[in-house]
Chain A
């Protein structure tokens, strides 16, 4: 109770300590929970930018409109395609790479140093970087392809068929280091002796992976994949710079769509409703993932 009390309770910080918490908790509550609730409530209004008449409560109208908005569902489909298309190959590549970097190889340090580059770069710069790579005339990709005798005149980011795959490759590149480092951290917690014992028992590489490595890194692998799915579904800057949603909406992710509705057309209420639907989908993803983790067990 008094100032002396914490001395023998050790882990408890004393009641006076709550004054230390308020400076951060009040802004967090006011400025993050507040806008969130405000944002959700906007979804039930006809709020628009530059509106002179007062904003009206419209109930479920925005959501009913969304239900019939083909473009929104198309962007949703593209968003899921993009999130899965980036997360799954990225995970497999990062897993292979983490296993590789866990070996005693020369030049591991080089891989680690280079991995900083995509990780530390502003997403806008990553977008610019790859626009230079994909550039139809001055880009290194077409130049390399024509050097190999393959057609070298593709306009990757403007082609209806090539735009989404091209953008997905950039997404994989940008998130590889983070995923790899997470998996590598998991691997380094695996006891080395278990591997040796399994090897002595005559277990092959695949059996050792299934029986020793995977169980050890499974929690990390699931967490990082779930987070990657959610982050990718919400991404904006990368695709904004690469294609701005084009060509013909082929790469228009939900965030790009909602951004345009809100800040180009001023439809705040409608865009807020989109945000709510996105939150709902993400909650499902989170719930599925948490349920999977709680159920535990292997396979």
Chain B
């Protein structure tokens, strides 16, 4: 009702300006991505042309074939998948019980945990990665996926904890009390009453941890040395070549493929993330 009234009240000139601004923003958001798409499907001849066009005149899948031929892309995608899935599952498995307790208590420990999340968001990673590198080297876990997964779990724990605490708080404690009154034990209450209500939050947190690990670059760059061990973001940088003399077509094709999984996952959980994550990041 309110919005409908305000539509009729807004002067026509203001409306026009608003739509122009919106169009400008949409163009700003979309054009680099559309250019990536366009480049990915252009044959080499068109990429070398003096006047590149938006729509490929002679679209081709050759860049995708060439990308897979030039770099171990499939292996890299598999490595990324393994690292991201393991990190997400482990982080959520470790964080869920803790989140449950922290959400129901408002003591000093809960405050300290929250403070730790804020601080961990503000870290220059170089200070953490040097000691981690030394420790992992002693454990012979440098240049190995398990070493990277370990780092990802630790790195995503504080945030997973924070998101989950929010989801647990949203479950009314009265439900647990009611279950206890009905004679259900603590574990049963957790499993049959709380867990089903918490499941969507747990899934959202796991997916978020998955995307962060899938997209992560710095730790992977430092820890993974040989191409067959490296994750997708690191392998993508190999397409850039020395001195930026990049083969643009395959570069664009590979970059486009690397983005698809996170775009899909993100589209699914976007609503939950904006709720959970921003509540976490913004209300301190």
Interface residues of A (CB under 8 A from B): 3-4, 6-7, 10-14, 16-18, 20-21, 23-25, 27-28, 31-32, 34-36, 38-40, 42, 47, 96-97, 100-101, 103-105, 107, 110-111, 113-125, 128-133, 135, 137-140, 143, 157-158, 173, 176-177, 181-182, 185, 192, 196, 219-220, 223-224, 227, 230-231, 233-234, 236-237, 240-241, 254-255, 258-259, 262-263, 268, 271-272, 274-276, 278-279, 282, 286
Shortest distance in angstroms between B196's beta carbon and chain A's nearest beta carbon? 18
B255 pairs with A125, CB closer than 8 A: yes
List the B residue with the shortest CB-CB distance to A144. B31
B125 pairs with A236, CB closer than 8 A: yes
Q: In whole angstroms, how far apart are the Cα atoms of A236 and B222 in the complex?
A: 12
B32 pairs with A130, CB closer than 8 A: yes
A27 pairs with B153, CB closer than 8 A: yes
B98 pairs with A21, CB closer than 8 A: yes
B19 pairs with A105, CB closer than 8 A: yes
Q: In whole angstroms, how far apart are the Cα atoms of A123 and B48 in the complex?
A: 26
Segment of B58-66, B67-75, B197-205, B260-268 engaged in the interface with chain A: B260-268
B281 pairs with A279, CB closer than 8 A: no
Shortest distance in angstroms between B35's beta carbon and chain A's nearest beta carbon? 5
Shortest distance in angstroms between A54's beta carbon and chain B's nearest beta carbon? 14
A104 pairs with B48, CB closer than 8 A: no
- Give the contacting residue for B158; candidates A28, A117, A120, A286; CB below 8 A: A28
Give chain B interface residues in 82-103, CB to chain A under 8 Å: 94-95, 97-98, 100-102
A-B CB pair tally, cutoff 8 Å: 290
On whether A272 and B161 interact (CB within 8 A), knowing A116-B267, A129-B35, the answer reads no
B35 pairs with A133, CB closer than 8 A: yes
| Seed contacts A119-B266, A120-B262; 20 additional CB < 8 Å A-B pairs | A21-B97, A23-B97, A36-B131, A40-B127, A116-B266, A120-B259, A120-B266, A122-B259, A128-B36, A128-B240, A143-B52, A181-B274, A181-B278, A236-B217, A254-B124, A259-B218, A263-B222, A272-B127, A275-B127, A275-B130
B150 pairs with A31, CB closer than 8 A: yes
Q: In whole angstroms, how far apart are the Cα atoms of A116 and B284 in the complex?
A: 24
Give chain B interface residues in 30-53, CB to chain A under 8 Å: 30-33, 35-36, 39, 47-48, 50-52
Shortest distance in angstroms between B71's beta carbon and chain A's nearest beta carbon? 13
By secondary structure, the B interface counts as: helix
Shortest distance in angstroms between A229's beta carbon and chain B's nearest beta carbon? 10
On whether A12 and B126 interact (CB within 8 A), knowing A35-B131, A117-B263, the answer reads no
List the A residue with the shortest CB-CB distance to B279. A185
Shortest distance in angstroms between A260's beta carbon and chain B's nearest beta carbon? 10
A24 pairs with B262, CB closer than 8 A: no
* B122 on interface, CB distance cutoff 8 Å: yes
List the A residue with the shortest CB-CB distance to B281. A227
B26 pairs with A107, CB closer than 8 A: yes
List the B residue with the shortest CB-CB distance to A281. B124
On whether A11 and B104 interact (CB within 8 A), knowing A32-B157, A104-B3, A237-B217, the answer reads yes
Q: In whole angstroms, how far apart are the Cα atoms of A108 and B25 in the complex?
A: 11
A131 pairs with B101, CB closer than 8 A: no
A234 contact set on B, CB distance < 8 A: 122-125
* B144 on interface, CB distance cutoff 8 Å: no
- Give the contacting residue for B161; candidates A24, A97, A111, A177; CB below 8 A: A24
Q: In whole angstroms, how far apart are the Cα atoms of A124 and B127 in the complex?
A: 21
B127 pairs with A39, CB closer than 8 A: yes
Shortest distance in angstroms between B98's beta carbon and chain A's nearest beta carbon? 4
A20 pairs with B100, CB closer than 8 A: yes
On whether A10 and B252 interact (CB within 8 A), knowing A24-B98, A143-B52, the answer reads no
Shortest distance in angstroms between A214's beta carbon and chain B's nearest beta carbon? 16
Q: In whole angstroms, how far apart are the Cα atoms of A20 and B97 in the complex?
A: 5
B131 pairs with A255, CB closer than 8 A: no
* B55 on interface, CB distance cutoff 8 Å: no
Q: In whole angstroms, how far apart are the Cα atoms of A35 and B54 in the complex?
A: 49
A121 pairs with B263, CB closer than 8 A: yes
B258 pairs with A122, CB closer than 8 A: yes
B131 pairs with A128, CB closer than 8 A: no
A271 pairs with B130, CB closer than 8 A: yes
List the B residue with the shortest CB-CB distance to A16. B186
* B251 on interface, CB distance cutoff 8 Å: yes
List the A residue with the shortest CB-CB distance to B157. A28
Q: In whole angstroms, how far apart are the Cα atoms of A44 and B190 in the complex?
A: 48
Q: In whole angstroms, how far apart are the Cα atoms of A236 and B25 in the complex?
A: 26
- Beta-carbon contacts of B96-114 to A below 8 Å, as 1s and 0s? 0110111011100100010
Shortest distance in angstroms between B209's beta carbon and chain A's nearest beta carbon? 13
B173 contact set on A, CB distance < 8 A: 10-11
